[in-house]
Structure 1
Amino acid sequence: MQGLFFESDDGARVVIRAIVVLIGFWTAWRAGKAVADGWNNYPRAVVYTFLLAWAMQFLHHALFNGPMLSALYYGIDFVTLLVFSTAGFRSRRTNQMVNNYYWLYEKTSAFSWKDKH
């Protein structure tokens, strides 16, 4: 099986694969935060994640000889990266709302806020 999941890898390829995955997750998180920092809407984060998933698909192809045009692996990449980008977006937007409008909102979790009463 090719793409994200391989049945046999040597040690160096496993390390490189782990580094590529971590870089992808970190980049998705930062893309979500960047969209929120610019006070842009969530759909822009989805578009950036779409492009990032394409770049990750290319890295899988270039580094590990994975398929370049596989809808299944692209979907796996996109959904996984979307989770991280959404988390980055919601985390940053929550901090923005709570810190900039402290008289209106209070933090309820790392990803949400509520009105002060």
Structure 2
Amino acid sequence: MEHENSLIWEVTFWEFLFVTVMLAGGAAYLTGRAIANSWLGTKHVVAYMVLLAAATRFIHFALFQGTLLSVHYYLVDLIVLIVIATLGFRMTRAKQMSRQYRFLTAGSGR
């Protein structure tokens, strides 16, 4: 299959969807949840996504003949992964805060 270079994906759309969004995105979501469960901050999310984006670029390179050292597509993968990981982080943190500090969100009881 020919490469369909675009602004967002270097390989075909389906390969980008499978590798970056589904595989790496699933790992990013679970990483965001794990960071929130350990009560770490959001800077940890970014640090781990930098590493995961590098691994994602390697998968594109090794399996689909993508460019390994492409700054543009690395940043695209990084942004997608940070968004997904932040979603997992925020959802888990909101659940934690509502469970831990229930008295702040409870009604006045009148």
After TM superposition, is the score higher than 0.5?
Answer: yes
Question: Is the contact between residue 97 and residue 105 of structure 1 (CA under 8 Å) also seen in structure 2?
Answer: no
1:25 is displaced (CA, Å) by: 0.9
Q: Could you tell me which residue of structure 2 aligns to residue 112 of structure 1?
A: none
**How well do the aligned residues superpose, as a CA RMSD in angstroms?**
2.3
Q: Which has the higher contact order (CA 8 A, sep 6+)?
A: 2
Query: Structure 1 or 2: larger strand share?
Result: 1
The number of residues matched between the two structures is 102
- What are the Cα deviations for residues 12-54 of structure 1, in whole angstroms up to 9, with x where unaligned? xx4x654323011111111111100000011001101111000
Question: Is the contact between residue 24 and residue 81 of structure 2 (CA under 8 Å) also seen in structure 1?
Answer: yes
1:104 is displaced (CA, Å) by: 1.8
Q: Could you tell me which residue of structure 1 aligns to residue 62 of structure 2?
A: 62
Identity %: 33
Q: Could you tell me which amino acid in structure 1 is paired with residue 31 of structure 2? A: A
Q: Could you tell me which residue of structure 1 aligns to residue 18 of structure 2?
A: 19
Q: Distance in 2 between matches of 1:42 and 1:105?
A: 23
Query: Structure 1 or 2: larger helix share?
Result: 2
Q: Could you tell me which residue of structure 2 aligns to residue 6 of structure 1?
A: 11
Runs of 5+ in structure 1 lacking a partner? Answer: 107-115
Q: Could you tell me which residue of structure 2 aligns to residue 40 of structure 1?
A: 40
Q: Distance in 1 between matches of 2:96 and 2:76?
A: 30
Q: Could you tell me which residue of structure 1 aligns to residue 77 of structure 2?
A: 77
Question: Is the contact between residue 32 and residue 89 of structure 1 (CA under 8 Å) also seen in structure 2?
Answer: yes
Question: Is the contact between residue 11 and residue 66 of structure 2 (CA under 8 Å) also seen in structure 1?
Answer: no
- What are the Cα deviations for residues 70-94 of structure 1, in whole angstroms up to 9, with x where unaligned? 0000000000111000101000000
TM-score (norm 1): 0.77
TM-score (norm 2): 0.81
Distance 1:81 1:35, change over 3 A: same
Q: Distance in 2 between matches of 1:40 and 1:101?
A: 17
